[in-house]
């Protein structure tokens, strides 16, 4: 899979200091792969996607890669780098 196709999302919640810190870490790692992660507030998203908050709301911040849970509470940088690198391979 080409990294240009890879989606990286951090599920967050307003007022979550850890979410802010981990989003900065996530942005730094993703920049090394030419990716720009998005942050999605689970409470705001609940208006149209209530399952998102139900599934992940008690574990924010949560990193999703291509819609699948990668890590939660903190960015697992070593694992994230390995997984993003493997997606770059032809």
Q: What is the mean pLDDT of residues 2-28?
A: 90
Report helix, strand or coil for 9: strand
- Residue closest to 75 by CA, chosen among 13, 30, 16, 14: 30
Does the pLDDT at position 2 exceed 60? no
pLDDT digits (tens, 9 = 90+) for 27-82: 999 999 999 999 999 999 989 988 888 888 899 999 999 999 999 999 999 999 99
- What domains appear along the chain, each with residue ranges and CATH number? 3-84 (3.40.30.10)
Is 3 a residue whose pLDDT tops 80? Answer: no
Q: What is the pLDDT of residue 34?
A: 93
75 in helix, strand or coil?
coil
> CA–CA separation, 68 vs 12, rounded Å?
15
């Amino acid at each position: 899979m080409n990294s240009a196709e890879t989606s990286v999302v951090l599920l967050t919640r307003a007022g979550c200091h850890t979410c802010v810190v981990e989003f900065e870490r996530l942005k730094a790692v993703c920049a090394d792969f030419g990716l720009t992660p998005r942050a999605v507030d689970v409470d705001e998203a609940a208006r149209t996607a209530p399952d998102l908050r139900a599934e992940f709301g008690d574990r924010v911040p949560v990193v999703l890669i291509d819609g699948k849970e990668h890590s939660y509470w903190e960015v697992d940088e070593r694992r994230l780098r390995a997984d993003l690198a493997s997606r770059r391979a032809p």
